[in-house]
């Protein structure tokens, strides 16, 4: 694909646009968290659980947000103290718990998040289903590479970056 200079330019423009988008999302999350009076990681977790619409294990939350088990424990304690989550036994692991969002208590925090997603949905009206599938496929590939990168980077193994680039 990269033999055509125009395709290379398009890939660079896509990468630059995606970087700007990710930076802006980070800024929106930070602003929403601070204006709501909660920790940014707490806000991200509320959004994660709201989007997932299912209970998640602490390990899943940690993996999704790139947090250590200790950070997840502190996070769960904060959210539980504010009655933003509920803990329930994990039916697949008798020693584990699942975390679910208390949607009524979390609703005020999610207003901006859901409003932003409504605007994103409006933008899709300009695209055909086939075009949206291409974008979705690309973003899922980027998500997988990013997840692999995070996993390898946090593993502190020698050569982690080389392993990432070898598995493209």
Q: Looking at the predicted structure, is the pLDDT value of residue 159 above 90?
A: no
Amino acid 98: pLDDT: 97
CATH number 1.10.10.10 is the correct assignment for the domain at 5-126: yes
The model's pLDDT over 3-42, given as tens digits with 9 standing for 90+, comes to: 666 777 988 999 999 999 999 999 999 999 999 899 999 9
| pLDDT of 85 higher than 70 | yes
**Per-residue pLDDT reduced to its tens digit, 39-71:** 999 999 999 999 998 999 999 999 899 899 999
What string of DSSP letters covers the chain? -TTSHHHHHHHHHHHHHHHHHHHHHHHHHHHHHHHHTS-HHHHHHHHHHHHHTS-B-HHHHHHHHT--HHHHHHHHHHHHHTT-EEEEEETTEEEEEEEEE-HHHHHHHHHHHHHHHHHHHHHGGGS-HHHHHHHHHHHHHHHHHHHHHHHHHHHT-TTHHHHHHHT-
The model carries a pTM of 0.76
- 143-154 mean pLDDT: 78
Give the pLDDT confidence score for residue 19 in this predicted structure. 93
Query: pLDDT digits over 92-114, tens only?
Result: 888 999 999 999 999 999 988 88
């Amino acid at each position: 694909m990269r033999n055509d200079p125009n395709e290379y330019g398009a890939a660079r423009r896509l990468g630059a646009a995606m970087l700007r988008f990710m930076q802006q999302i980070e800024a929106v999350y930070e602003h929403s968290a601070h204006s709501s009076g909660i920790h940014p990681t707490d806000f991200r977790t509320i959004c994660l659980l709201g989007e997932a619409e299912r209970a998640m294990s602490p390990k899943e939350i940690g993996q999704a947000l790139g947090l250590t088990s200790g950070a997840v424990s502190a996070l769960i304690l904060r959210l539980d103290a504010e009655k933003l989550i509920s803990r329930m036994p994990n039916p697949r692991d008798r020693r584990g718990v699942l975390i679910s969002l208390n949607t009524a208590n979390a609703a005020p925090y999610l207003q901006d998040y859901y409003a932003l997603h409504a605007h994103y949905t409006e933008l899709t009206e300009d695209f055909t289903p086939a075009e949206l599938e291409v974008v979705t496929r690309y973003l899922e590939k980027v998500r997988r590479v990013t997840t692999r990168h995070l996993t390898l980077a946090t593993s502190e193994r020698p050569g982690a970056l080389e392993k990432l680039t070898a598995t493209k």
